[in-house]
Homo-oligomer: A and B are copies of this chain.
Amino acid sequence: MAQKVTPRILSGFMELLPEEQLVFDRMKQIIANTYESFGFVALDTPVLELSEILLAKAGGETEKQIYRFTKGDTDMCMRFDLTVPLSRYVAQHQNELAFPFRRYQISKSYRGERPQRGRFREFYQADIDIVGSEKLSILYDAEIPSIIYRVLTKLGLKRFHIRMNNRKLLQGFYEHIGLSEQSAEILRIIDKTDKIGEDNVRLCLSDLGINADLITRVLSFAQIKGSVAEVLSQLGALDIDNATYQLGLSELRMVTNALNSMGVPETNFLIDLRITRGLDYYTGTVYETFADDFPSWGSICSGGRYDNLAGFYTDRKLPGVGMSIGLTRFFDVLKAQGLLNMGPKTPASVLVIPMSEKESSLALQIGQILRQDGIKTDVLGSDTKFKNKMVYANKLGVPYVVILGESEMQNQTAVLKDMARGEQQTVALDKLAPAIRLLQNLEPLLPVIKDC
């Protein structure tokens, strides 16, 4: 064959080697299992949608990044998130669904962003939403952070905080002090406190024409800190006579109480009055989640309560609450910092090696017996030297090797080698599965994420 094409992928796309992919898939599986344990059903909407559908809401920066094209007469886009397809799905199938409708979707979305570290043009998100018809109990607002807690804990992350706030509380507060029109801008400025310092925040707020007294009030509100009980008590003590504020406060109280009922420890959640999550979509409880030791990662899981999921497609009011894990980005950050417990290049626990052609048939039999015993088993072909076979086993990183030679075949035994320990033993063929299981039990499965 003549001219070769250099094999490569598009820039800004993530592709993993087998040992990385196995860790990524373990993460994905843990997240999916946790979501399902709460009764969420997986959806799998098409990657391509009609542009008319997908762009009903989008605009600005996002719209420019979308992969949009026509084929025949059809104007279509690759999805840029999982929320718009969810809206379309729920509106389209509303008569077939049972509400509250709990769905999760762990899928890829596409945005042609300028490639940079940690930003990908094809990226997994792991979304959950609970969507009600006409109304949805506030208790679901507590379920979401309890799921965040379970997911991150199962992944192995220990030191993290889910930061919660309530948009009604903020709205009521700003109405009360007469700054509701400027609240969006004020909140954006306050959000930068950690970056630019309090003095600069005061300057910026003053530039908006807010007087010094109000600035102090706004800042001291945003800085209310302490245990959940302390913050709730301070918020109550402010004695703000505004119905929206009081509703937000009572929601926050119910949500944090329910989190206690569900066994989420206060070492992993707190009320943070600076959390706002954008300004036009969420209407009640909002969440962000930060690793205590790595604030630079930004929020790992974010979400909140919204009043109406699918207003572009239906008149039926569909309030909901949900959250999303930016899985590709999270994985990339963990990988870059060396925080993943990497394993072998194979899902197999065992590699069966026939010394020569003669033992091939037995090797295939043994492979099938081990598999039927629930042990993932790879059987090697017999067409290379023994030395090469062991090189392969090492490169693969497979935990255990079963070697079948002439004398073993005569005695109906095999050599079982523990590759990590470098120890080997001769085992009767019918005792092979229990012997492997015994070795496996000596090696507890490490969590995906290293201690942090």
Chain A residues at the B interface, C-beta cutoff of 8 Å? 1, 4-10, 13-18, 21-22, 24-25, 36-50, 52-53, 56, 67, 69, 71-72, 74, 76, 78, 87-89, 91-93, 96-100, 102-103, 108, 110, 112, 121-122, 132, 135-140, 142-143, 146, 257-258, 261-263, 310-315, 345-348, 351, 360-362, 364-365, 367-368, 371, 376-383, 392, 395-396, 398
Contact = CB atoms under 8 A, between A and B. Distances in A.
B15 A313 contact: no
B140 A381 contact: yes
Nearest to A396: B98
Given A41-B18, A42-B25, A47-B47, A53 B8 contact: yes
B364 A139 contact: yes
Contacts of A48: 10, 13, 67, 110, 121-122
B376 A49 contact: no
Given A39-B348, A49-B10, A315-B4, A71 B76 contact: no
Given A92-B8, A377-B38, A382-B139, A112 B71 contact: yes
Contact of A39 (B87, B89, B351): B351
Contacts of A137: 360, 381-383
Q: By CB atoms of chain B within 10 A, which of A5, A45, A52, A91 has the most?
A: A5
Contacts of A89: 7, 15
A321 to B, nearest CB: 11
Q: By CB atoms of chain B within 10 A, which of A41, A52, A99, A136 has the most?
A: A41
Given A48-B10, A69-B69, A139-B381, A364 B258 contact: yes
Given A8-B92, A46-B13, A56-B5, A69 B72 contact: no
Contacts of A1: 311-312
Contacts of A88: 7-9
A43 B24 CA distance: 10
Contacts of A364: 139, 142-143, 258, 261-262
Given A47-B47, A137-B383, A364-B139, A7 B122 contact: no
12 contacts: A5-B52, A14-B46, A17-B93, A21-B41, A38-B371, A39-B348, A47-B47, A98-B345, A135-B383, A137-B381, A140-B381, A261-B362
Q: By CB atoms of chain B within 10 A, which of A52, A72, A368 has the most?
A: A368
Contacts of A139: 360, 364, 379, 381-382
A99 B345 CA distance: 11
Contacts of A345: 41, 97-98
A379 B146 CA distance: 13
Given A44-B21, A67-B69, A368-B146, A38 B395 contact: no
A257 B72 contact: no
Contact of A37 (B47, B52, B87, B377): B377
A100 B137 CA distance: 55
A10 B346 contact: no
A322 to B, nearest CB: 15
Nearest to A124: B44
B376 A122 contact: no
Given A36-B347, A37-B371, A135-B383, 11 more contacts: A9-B45, A9-B88, A10-B48, A39-B377, A48-B122, A71-B112, A136-B383, A139-B364, A139-B381, A258-B360, A262-B368
A437 to B, nearest CB: 15
Contact of A122 (B40, B47, B50, B348): B47
A9 B348 contact: no
